[in-house]
Amino acid sequence: MTAATITPSGAGAGQRGQPGPGLQPGWGVSPERQQAIAEVLGALVPPAGRLAPTQLRAVTAGLAARHGLWADLVVRDPDVRWYLPLHRSNSCDVWLLAWECGQDTDWHDHGGSAGSFAVAEGCLVEQYRAPSGRRIARRRLPASEAVAFGPAHVHNVAHGGDGSATSIHAYSPPLMAMTYYSATEYGLIARETVAVDGPEGARGRGGVGTALAAASASAARLSPDSLPADAPSIDELLAEARSGLARLRPEAAFAVLTDGAVLVDIRPLEQRIAEGEIPGAVIIGRNVLEWRLDPRSEARIPPLARADAQIIVMCSEGYASTLAAATLRRIGLREATDLDGGFQAWKAAGLPTRPAQPPG
């Protein structure tokens, strides 16, 4: 089971603190405590620059051993995984996490960050992708154990043992994005990358005062000044593309497939593996689509690259397919359109699907 994670300002938050160096207000760590943590870190690692995994291990193990710095801050919540940021600088961020039975993170990496975590109380179990390739390794980490890893590390951390667990996590540079993975028979397949404001499975559920909210506000402030006045937003671009297409719902698309239309699946392999495929669909990667379907292209697929070809572009949910179909119209394929709702709507309609076919 994957438990949701709340921000410290959410229902499971502990005490509220005052703003301090490096952390947003309302995050529950007093300035005095932040100062004490910063002093401990200052004795362990350099104050600036990217920290190596061994340095991050010194941070997490050092703080995990100092219960007085964090033990009174922990909130135990059996329903929602709880965390609290303890420290943030340009070089690293440090987090306090609590774990209850059944809680885990799902498979993920840490963007471009190296990391470490130390078990301070209880026990955690880490599954991780072995550096050699597809093999999955597993290690049980009782209290006082600490592990460290580079940016390529992909893992799934879970509560282990009987009682509650507590851990200290550190990342360098500070954690900004995580990619989630699906465990498939082909190995771990990247599923999605999300911006995060918390560690180990926090999925961008940021509220007012969180790092994510601050980053979003900053981006919103930048946009009007930094973009050309006539540049359409992606929503406007999508609406414009859709205004020129007679999009097909799955049932209508299924009906015309027997009439000479061709369904073109532009989803990447990892998405087809995770979601499944549609029998009879032609797979053409989005990155080569126009070159395969332009009748003037040397790389064209002759039976499909015709001005009157009834191409129905399909992606997962029917967004990227719209833009692709509009581009095909621009290069002269006047019958091109896309599948409204994509593979997800097709599957929901009960139309035929099958597991992805093995590569090669």
Which residues form the interface with Fe ion (CB under 5 A)? 200
Among 251, 281, 265, CA closest to 347: 251
Q: Which is nearer to Fe ion, 27 or 180 (CB)?
A: 180
- Note whether 324 and 302 are within 8 A (CB): no
Beta bridge partners of 158: 104, 125
Q: At what angle do helices 31-44 and 53-64 cross, to 10 degrees?
A: 130
Instruction: Supply the minimum distance, in Å, between the C-beta of residue 334 and Fe ion.
Output: 49
What does DSSP say about strands 337-338 and 311-314: parallel, antiparallel, or unpaired?
A: parallel
**CA separation for the pair 244, 56 (Å, rounded):** 54
Q: Which is nearer to Fe ion, 24 or 167 (CB)?
A: 167
Q: Which is nearer to Fe ion, 188 or 248 (CB)?
A: 188
Instruction: Supply the minimum distance, in Å, between the C-beta of residue 107 and Fe ion.
Output: 9
Instruction: Supply the minimum distance, in Å, between the C-beta of residue 108 and Fe ion.
Output: 6
**How many Å is the maximal CA-CA distance in the chain?**
73
Q: How many residues does the chain have?
A: 360
Q: Which is nearer to Fe ion, 105 or 316 (CB)?
A: 105
Instruction: Supply the minimum distance, in Å, between the C-beta of residue 152 and Fe ion.
Output: 12
CA distances from 228 to 149, 207, 223, 239 (A): 42, 30, 9, 19
Q: Which is nearer to Fe ion, 200 or 340 (CB)?
A: 200
**CA separation for the pair 244, 333 (Å, rounded):** 13
Q: Which is nearer to Fe ion, 202 or 323 (CB)?
A: 202
Instruction: Supply the minimum distance, in Å, between the C-beta of residue 43 and Fe ion.
Output: 26
- Taking CB atoms, the residue at the shortest distance from Fe ion is 200
Q: Which is nearer to Fe ion, 200 or 277 (CB)?
A: 200
Instruction: Supply the minimum distance, in Å, between the C-beta of residue 267 and Fe ion.
Output: 27
- Note whether 176 and 195 are within 8 A (CB): yes
Tokens of 285: 């990667």
Instruction: Supply the minimum distance, in Å, between the C-beta of residue 46 and Fe ion.
Output: 23
Q: Position of tokens 């390739």?
A: 133
